[in-house]
Amino acid sequence: MPLAAVLWDLDGVLADTGELHYRAWQEACDEEKIPFDRDLFARTFGRNNAGALEVVLGHVPEEGFLRRFVERKEGLFRARAAGTVRPIPGVEGWLRAFRDRGLKQAVASSGPPENLEAVLGSLGFLPYFDAVVSGAELPGKPQPHVFLRAAELLGVPPASCLVVEDAVVGVRAARAAGMKVVAVATTHPAEALGEAGRVLPGFGEAPGPEWFPGAP
């Protein structure tokens, strides 16, 4: 089926936010006296906050605590990100290339909507997208819901979508949605992303017309 849309993850794909998220997680966990380190952080990457906190705690968090913790952690993140967040090198060339070829584009991220608006607005990327979908209140990756919701909003069948991801759970979510997936090794080693149809070290030269056969 011809390619009609590109669905983008946010953190680690469009925006270089990994260290900002780590520091926010570390501070929020320190306040609650919850053990946290970079190994735990790596295991949470790509999940929504509910799924990530379950990994950190080792059990499903109580709803009230989850809401309070997430509000604090994301507030810390947005305060750190304000005016400092940077795009992943080379990604804007890809956004332009897909736009110029008439493909629809959407963000489909595990992050809360406030983060998506703040980061995309800071980067000046919002005009590239026809839809922005937060998976914060959906079943988290590796479940496919956030990608399927984005495809629905774009009016495009899943088989006509390409997902750009950096996390193992995101690659698995895209495959579960029945979508093509390209992974960029910005936050995970390439060998961990082997379930993707294609794994790239980063965003080099923007894809030309021959890159995805069947695209407009």
In which band, very low, low, confident or very high, does the pLDDT at 50 lie, cut at 50, 70 and 90? very high
Q: 27-39 in b/e burial notation, b at 16+ Cβ within 10 A?
A: ebbeeeeeebeee
Q: How many domains does the chain have?
A: 2
Let me know if 100 is a catalytic residue. Answer: no
Q: Are 99 and 179 members of one domain?
A: yes
Q: Are 50 and 105 members of one domain?
A: no
- Rounded-to-integer distance, Cα 74 and Cα 135, Å: 15
For residue 72, being part of any structural domain is answered with yes
- pLDDT at position 216: 44
For residue 215, being part of any structural domain is answered with no
Extract the tokens encoding 181.
């997936």
Output the average pLDDT for the chain: 93
Q: Are 26 and 111 members of one domain?
A: no
In which band, very low, low, confident or very high, does the pLDDT at 215 lie, cut at 50, 70 and 90? very low
Reply yes or no on whether the pLDDT at 96 is more than 60.
yes
Q: Are 56 and 107 members of one domain?
A: no
Catalytic residue among 9, 30, 37, 39: 9
pLDDT mean over 164-172: 96
Q: Are 143 and 115 members of one domain?
A: yes
Let me know if 9 is a catalytic residue. Answer: yes
Q: Are 57 and 157 members of one domain?
A: no
For residue 63, being part of any structural domain is answered with yes
The domain in which residue 186 lies consists of 5-16+87-200
pLDDT mean over 47-51: 92
pLDDT mean over 7-31: 97
Q: Are 11 and 38 members of one domain?
A: no
For residue 213, being part of any structural domain is answered with no
In which band, very low, low, confident or very high, does the pLDDT at 214 lie, cut at 50, 70 and 90? low
Q: Are 190 and 124 members of one domain?
A: yes
- Average the pLDDT over each of 52-56, 120-124, 151-155, 203-207 and give the range with the smallest value: 203-207
End-to-end CA distance of the chain: 12
Apex 117 CA angle, 113 and 120, nearest 5: 130
For residue 207, being part of any structural domain is answered with no
pLDDT digits (tens, 9 = 90+) for 99-146: 999 999 999 999 999 999 999 999 999 999 999 999 988 999 999 999
- The domain boundary, picked from 29, 60, 81, lies at 81
pLDDT mean over 8-25: 96
- pLDDT at position 209: 63
Share of the chain above pLDDT 90, in %: 89
Q: Are 107 and 192 members of one domain?
A: yes
